[in-house]
């Protein structure tokens, strides 16, 4: 499907194609193919709210050469590049005695596999999300440890869902049990985080001086924070821990930048226009472009992207669905409402197809960028009307650097934890942990042969 793109986006893409110097790009002069660096593996996690219209989502047949379902139809050109994983469950998104709040729980649990502590604010506690666990290891050497993207920024007043804080409904990425990673919604700001804002043309010496100044600032505030630590309470010290973590992150990046600064300055990359795109479609696509660019240039190897926040009531008037998404999802069997939900689901899948297309269009090593990615797409709720958390709609795109045999529909026994998938993905990026969230083991069936991990 040909999409109308905004002028700003097109201009941006043209600028990009023309000029970025990219570490793993095929066209980069590699004097000796034998010593060319092996492309790294990247992971990304995409979140959609309110579940899906399950009968329209799940393909009827399993295995290879299955027929795509109506919602997944837009992925036709990439059918060989992703897996449909059916039957996975997030038990920790269920009430388990905590009462209402499935939307908040399903979002909090999505990448953590942990039941969030029910609170409107005090004692927020969840678990580390899989992307952050991965970033600990594979994000160390990159300019950005990880990249969090999303389209929704607006704060809903009040508890966001039945007594759960908005921290649970707006974030899927959690750096620690208590600290969510806020997402960036503005493509331009993402770009500036990746490449700096306007410093690219500065003299090396000027840049070095800037780095030294930053270091002395950090030294100063570290001293202040340490002295403050002794004068505040236990819970306050947890907040200060966030502060220390942030400082360490900046310090790490200062070092990475020194060693890795080459391509950041050589490229004459055109930044996307300031401000937010007017259309939701363009917004998703431009942020997807940023993810692609970040992976392509190895600015980061880990990313998350929330197409919308949990329980989003966004309207989709532009595709003929003027009602709010969440309102619609409580369809109580109304067929016309169900059709509209499927329409929204399909719209999101079209945007996912766009991302896959972009990743596939980039040559890397002897394959494509997509081949070296593992991108999970899905929701923590299965059916938005039932609010159930078994049989979740989950896709896994990319071949994980040859460790995944994509192009199939794999059906798992009921109640197989989604966290098992995450454990298997962590294996594939070289992060060796015994468990993640409520995992009970590795997830079989991602590859037909023994993977070359």
Partner 1 sequence: MKVTPSRIRFLLCLSFFFHGALGLALWADDLWANPILPFLQEHCTECHGLEKPKAGLNLAAYGPDSPIRRERKQWKKVLRMLRRGKMPPKKAPQPPEVDRQKVERAIDEALAALNCDGVRDPGHVTLRRLNRTEYNNVVADLFGIDFKPARDFPSDDTGYGFDNIGDVLSLSPVLFDKYLAAAEGIADEVIGGTPAKGPSDLLTCLPKSEADWLPCARQILEPVARRAFRRPLRDGDMDELLRLVESVHADGASFERGIRLALQAILVSPNFLFHVVEIPVLGQADAIQPLSGFELAERISFFLWSRLPDDELAALAKAGKLADNEILEQQVRRMLKDDRASALADNFAAQWLQLRRLETITPDPVYYPAFDEDLRRDSRRETELFFSAVASDDLSVLTLLDADFSFINERLARHYGIPGIEGAHFRRVSFEDGRRGGILGHASILTLTSNPTRTSPVKRGKWILGQVLGMPPKPPPPNAGDLSEETEEVQAASLRERLEKHRADPVCASCHRIMDPIGFALENYDGVGAWRTRDGKFPINAAGTLPDGTFFDGPVDLKKVLLERKRDFVWCLSEKLLTYALGRGIEYFDDCALEDIVKAVEADDYRFSRLVIEVVRSVPFRMKRSQESSP
Work out how close the CB of 183 gets to partner 1 at its nearest, in angstroms, rounded to a whole number. 7
Share in percent of the chain as helix, strand, coil (round to 5):
40, 15, 45
Closer residue to partner 1 in complex, CB, 60/317: 317
Site string for partner 1, 94-123 (x = CB under 8 A): ---x-xxxx---------------xxxxxx
> Judged by CB under 8 A, which stretch of 31-39, 151-159, 290-298, 346-354 contacts partner 1?
151-159
Closer residue to partner 1 in complex, CB, 252/363: 252
Q: How far is Cα of residue 210 from the mean position of the Cα atoms in its chain?
A: 31
Q: Beta strands 147-150 and 302-306: pairing type? A: parallel
Question: Which DSSP symbol is given to 309?
Answer: -
Closer residue to partner 1 in complex, CB, 128/411: 128
Residues 358-397 that bind partner 1 (CB under 8 A): 385-387
Residues 22-81 that bind partner 1 (CB under 8 A): none
Give the one residue of 14, 80, 239, 442 binding partner 1; rule: CB under 8 A: 239
Interface with partner 1 includes 336 (CB under 8 A)? Answer: yes
Work out how close the CB of 195 gets to partner 1 at its nearest, in angstroms, rounded to a whole number. 13
Bridge partners, residue 410, by sequence: 85
Q: What is the largest CA-CA distance in the chain?
A: 66
Give the one residue of 131, 184, 405, 427 binding partner 1; rule: CB under 8 A: 184
Q: Which value, in Å, is the radius of gyration of the alpha carbons in the chain?
A: 22
Closer residue to partner 1 in complex, CB, 29/233: 233
Work out how close the CB of 315 gets to partner 1 at its nearest, in angstroms, rounded to a whole number. 6
Q: How many residues contact partner 1, by CB under 8 A? A: 87
DSSP 125-162: -----HHHHHHHHHTTTSSSS-EEEES--PPPSS-SBT
> Judged by CB under 8 A, which stretch of 35-43, 171-179, 347-355, 403-411 contacts partner 1?
171-179
Closer residue to partner 1 in complex, CB, 97/413: 97
> Judged by CB under 8 A, which stretch of 29-37, 41-49, 242-250, 438-446 contacts partner 1?
242-250
Interface with partner 1 includes 217 (CB under 8 A)? Answer: yes
Q: 341-378: string of b/e by CB count within 10 Å (b at 16+)?
A: bbbbbbbbbbbbbbbbbbbbebebbebbbbbbbbbbbb
CB < 8 Å & 24+ apart, contacts of 337-341:
338/53, 338/56, 341/50, 341/52, 341/53, 341/384
Work out how close the CB of 337 gets to partner 1 at its nearest, in angstroms, rounded to a whole number. 7
Work out how close the CB of 190 gets to partner 1 at its nearest, in angstroms, rounded to a whole number. 10
Closer residue to partner 1 in complex, CB, 358/387: 387
Taking the C-alpha atoms of residue 98 and residue 310, their distance in angstroms, rounded to an integer, is 18
Query: Residue for token digits 């309110």?
Result: 50
411 in Cβ contact with 87 (< 8 Å): yes
Give the one residue of 11, 162, 257, 260 binding partner 1; rule: CB under 8 A: 162
Taking the C-alpha atoms of residue 193 and residue 299, their distance in angstroms, rounded to an integer, is 10
Work out how close the CB of 383 gets to partner 1 at its nearest, in angstroms, rounded to a whole number. 10
Q: Which two tokens stand for residue 240?
A: 């200060």
Give the one residue of 337, 343, 409, 428 binding partner 1; rule: CB under 8 A: 337
Interface with partner 1 includes 182 (CB under 8 A)? Answer: yes
Q: How many CA atoms lie within 13 A of 93 on its CB side?
A: 35
Give the one residue of 44, 108, 181, 418 binding partner 1; rule: CB under 8 A: 181
Interface with partner 1 includes 430 (CB under 8 A)? Answer: no
What are the backbone angles phi and psi of residue 323, rounded to the nearest 5°?
-75, 160
Taking the C-alpha atoms of residue 114 and residue 127, their distance in angstroms, rounded to an integer, is 6
Residues 276-335 that bind partner 1 (CB under 8 A): 315, 317, 322-324, 327-328, 330-334
Residues 246-275 that bind partner 1 (CB under 8 A): 246-247, 249-250
């Amino acid at each position: 499907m040909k999409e109308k793109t905004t002028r700003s986006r097109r201009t941006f893409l043209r600028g990009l194609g023309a000029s970025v110097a990219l570490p793993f790009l095929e066209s980069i002069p590699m004097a000796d193919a034998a010593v060319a660096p092996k492309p790294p593996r990247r992971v990304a996690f995409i979140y959609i709210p309110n579940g899906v219209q399950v009968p329209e989502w799940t393909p009827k047949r399993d295995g290879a050469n299955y027929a795509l379902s109506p919602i997944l139809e837009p992925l036709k050109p990439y059918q060989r590049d992703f897996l449909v994983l059916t039957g996975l469950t997030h038990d920790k998104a269920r009430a388990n005695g905590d009462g209402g709040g499935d939307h908040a729980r399903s979002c909090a649990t999505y990448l953590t596999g942990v039941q969030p502590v029910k609170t409107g604010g005090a004692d927020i506690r969840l678990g580390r999300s899989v992307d952050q666990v991965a970033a600990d290891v594979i994000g160390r050497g990159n300019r950005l440890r990880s990249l969090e993207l999303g389209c929704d920024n607006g704060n809903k007043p009040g508890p966001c869902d039945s007594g759960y804080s908005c921290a649970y409904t707006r974030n899927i990425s959690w750096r620690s049990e208590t600290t969510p990673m806020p997402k960036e919604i503005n493509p331009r700001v993402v770009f500036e985080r990746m490449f700096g804002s306007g410093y690219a043309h500065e003299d090396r010496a000027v840049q070095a001086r800037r780095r030294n100044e930053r270091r002395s600032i950090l030294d100063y505030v570290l001293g202040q924070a340490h002295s403050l630590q002794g004068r505040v309470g236990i819970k306050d010290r947890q907040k200060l821990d966030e502060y220390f973590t942030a400082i360490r992150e900046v310090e790490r990046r200062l070092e990475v930048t020194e060693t890795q600064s080459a391509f950041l300055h050589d490229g004459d990359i055109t930044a996307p226009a300031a401000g937010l795109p007017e259309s939701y479609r363009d917004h998703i696509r431009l942020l997807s472009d940023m993810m692609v660019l970040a992976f392509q240039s190895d600015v980061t190897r880990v990313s998350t992207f929330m197409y919308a926040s949990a329980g989003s009531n966004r309207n989709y008037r532009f595709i003929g669905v003027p009602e709010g998404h969440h309102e619609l999802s409580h369809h109580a069997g109304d067929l016309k409402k169900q059709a509209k939900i499927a329409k929204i689901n399909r719209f999101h899948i079209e945007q996912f197809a766009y991302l896959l297309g972009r990743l596939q269009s980039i040559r890397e090593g002897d394959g494509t960028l997509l081949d070296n990615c593992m991108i999970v797409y899905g929701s923590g709720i299965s059916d938005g009307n039932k609010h159930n958390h078994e049989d979740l709609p989950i896709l896994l795109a990319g071949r994980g650097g040859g460790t995944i045999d994509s192009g199939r529909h794999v059906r798992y026994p009921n109640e197989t934890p989604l966290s098992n998938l995450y454990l298997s993905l962590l294996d594939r990026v070289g992060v060796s942990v015994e468990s993640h969230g409520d995992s009970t083991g590795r997830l079989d069936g991602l590859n037909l042969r023994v993977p070359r991990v």
